[in-house]
Amino acid sequence: MVKVLIVDDSAFMRNTLSSMIASDPELEVIGMAKDGIEAIDKVASLQPDIVTMDVEMPRMDGIESLKHIMSKTPLPVLMVSSLTTEGAEATLDALDLGAVDFIPKNLADLSINIVKIKNVLIDKLKKIGKKGLVKQKLIIPSRPLTMPAPMQYTSHRKTGIVAIGSSTGGPKALQTIISNIPKEFPVPVLIAQHMPPSFTGPFADRLNQISAVHVKEAEDNEPIQKGTVYIAPGGGHMGVKRIKLTKTAIALTQHKGEYIYKPSADYLMLSVTESFSGQVLGVILTGLGNDGTQGMKEIKNKGGRTIAESEESCVVYGMPKSVVEAGVADKVVRLDEIAGEIVNAV
């Protein structure tokens, strides 16, 4: 049984989240708090397995409460964030401070949209609550990157592009990886991180601030440059297209097939493989579900290379597990080794 503490200043939100969580027999709401001060007290007294934390609250907001909790009684915290640029910035601050992930809410149409998050919320609470906090090694970008010993890929072809897919726990994992890619990286990197539309721009900006390589939210039709990291905008899909024999550009679309997530790792990887057949390095990081498995299969089928994050470092071992069980991962490595593997592969 996973014990959950709900923190929100809205009685409606507390009751709505509580009823959704209580509908699953593996979850138990052991308490509720209406501000950050109550949250600190109840975390200490009730010892929950996981907390849902609102960002904006009176007396003490979610960010200040999170700081205290992570310094005194660290445990998994799932932020409940509004779908605004301000909400995105606050959520990214929370992830930097130790929150494991977030659930978006639409304040403009709360009664309708909050119900849509039920299945995802329950899945995240169960998987993250059961696993607990994942301890990561601190990697300081200013230090020389420790390169892992070279391992044999099944493909001997030169890597021309890197495609990365991630979901729950992905923002923090991507910070670890991209901040350790050297400035003169010789190929482009394309990333599909499951995020709402208002989040991907601020996330790209934040990655850019801490990285040697240039990081940006991708724009439709822009030429793809080596040494640049492109974040797929939320709410649609990102792929690539040939504009000349040796030139490629970003191709954005709002609707393609029956993909559950927008942006989709599968869509990105399948598209990249069409233009860079045999030259793709595919990487799947922490996340719920199996998005990316079909894309990684196609990368392997066309002679590319594949890396999956190991269970040890994943916040949620869902997407990488699916890739590993499908037998299409060349290497399965910890998060703190992935940047080195990517550099080695090109």
Catalytic machinery residues: 167, 194, 291
CA distance 146 to 337: 8
Rounded Cα distance, 113 and 223, in Å: 36
CA–CA distance, 64 with 244 (Å, rounded to integer): 51
Residue 20, H or E segment: helix 11-22
DSSP structure class, residue 287:
B
Burial class (CB in 10 A: 0-12, 13-18, 19+), 209: exposed
Spatial distance between the Cα atoms of 174 and 101, rounded to a whole number of angstroms? 13
Residue indicated by tokens 């700081």: 67
Burial status of residue 94 (CB atoms within 10 A of its CB: 0-12, 13-18, 19 or more): buried
Q: How far apart are CA 261 and CA 59, in angstroms?
A: 36
Cα 21 from Cα 16, distance rounded (Å) = 9
Q: Which of 77, 98, 78, 94 lies closest to 86 in space, CA to CA?
A: 94
- Taking the C-alpha atoms of residue 271 and residue 267, their distance in angstroms, rounded to an integer, is 6
Residue holding tokens 């996981």?
A: 50
